[in-house]
Amino acid sequence: MIEEGSGTREEKTYRIAGILFRLQSEVGDPGAYLPPAMEGFASSGEPDLTLRLIDEEEALCDPLKRFFPPRFNLRREGEKLVFGGGTGQQSHLGYISVEDSLAELGLPRLDGPWRVEEEREAVGEALRSFLAACLQVLLLREGGTLLHAAGVSTGGEAYAFVGHTGSGKTTLAARFPPGEVLGDDLLAVRPLRGDFLLYGTPWPGREGGRVAYGGLPLVAVFTLHPWAPRDMQAVGAGEAVAELMLDAPRLEWPEEESELLDIFSSLVRRVPIYRLSVGLEDDIASFLREFRASRGKEG
CATH code where residue 158 lies: 3.90.228.20
Q: Name 151's bridge partners.
A: 160, 183
Domain end call among 112, 141, 170: 141
Do 162 and 234 fall within a single domain? yes
In a domain, 13, yes or no: yes
71 falls within a domain? yes
Of 114, 141, 168, which residue constitutes the final position of a domain? 141
Same domain, 247 and 200: yes
CB 186 within 8 A of CB 202: no
Are 118 and 149 part of one and the same domain? no
Predicted confidence (pLDDT) per residue in 77-105, tens digit: 988 999 998 544 568 999 999 999 999 99
Q: Is residue 253 domain-resident?
A: yes
**Nearest-angstrom CA–CA distance, 290 and 212:** 24
Query: What confidence tens digit (pLDDT) does each residue in 121-142 have?
Result: 999 999 999 999 999 999 999 9
Judgement on whether residues 200 and 252 belong to the same structural domain of the protein: yes
Question: What is the full per-residue pLDDT of the chain (299 aa) written as tens digits?
Answer: 555 444 568 999 999 999 999 999 999 999 999 998 999 999 999 999 999 999 998 888 888 888 887 788 899 998 899 999 854 456 899 999 999 999 999 999 998 889 999 999 999 999 999 999 999 999 999 999 999 999 999 999 999 999 877 777 888 888 899 899 999 999 999 999 889 999 999 998 877 778 999 999 999 999 988 777 788 899 999 999 999 998 888 887 878 999 999 999 999 999 999 999 877 677 888 888 888 888 776 55
User: Residue 278: inside a domain, yes or no?
Assistant: yes
Query: Cβ of 111: how many Cβ atoms within 10 Å?
Result: 10
Check whether residue 35 and residue 7 sit in a common domain: yes
**261 lies in some domain:** yes
pTM of the model: 0.92
Q: Residue 165, Cβ neighbours under 10 Å: how many?
A: 11
The domain containing residue 180 runs over which residues?
145-294
Measured between alpha carbons, how far is 188 from 213 in angstroms, rounded to an integer?
Answer: 10
At residue 6, the pLDDT reads 41
100 and 175 part of one domain: no
Among 99, 116, 141, give the residue marking a domain's end. 141
Which SS3 state, helix, strand or coil, does residue 172 take? helix
Residues 104 and 158 in one domain: no
Note whether residue 33 is domain-resident: yes
Question: Does residue 244 share a domain with residue 150?
Answer: yes
Identify whether 200 is part of a domain: yes
DSSP string, 226-281: TTSPSEEEE--HHHHHHHHHHTS-----TTHHHHHHHHHHHHHHHS-EEEEE--TT
DSSP per position, 67-125: H-S---EEEEETTEEEEE-STT-----EEEETTTTEEEEEE--SSSPPSSHHHHHHHHH
The CA distance from 107 to 127, in Å, is 9
Q: Are residues 217 and 268 in the same domain?
A: yes
Distance CA 105, CA 96 (A): 9
pLDDT of residue 296: 75
Asked if 167 and 78 sit in the same domain, the reply is: no
For residue 13, count other CB atoms closer than 10 A to its CB. 17
Instruction: Kindly state whether residues 214 and 227 are assigned to the same domain.
Output: yes
Is 299 among the domain residues? no
Instruction: Mark whether 252 and 186 lie in a shared domain.
Output: yes
Number of structural domains the chain divides into: 2
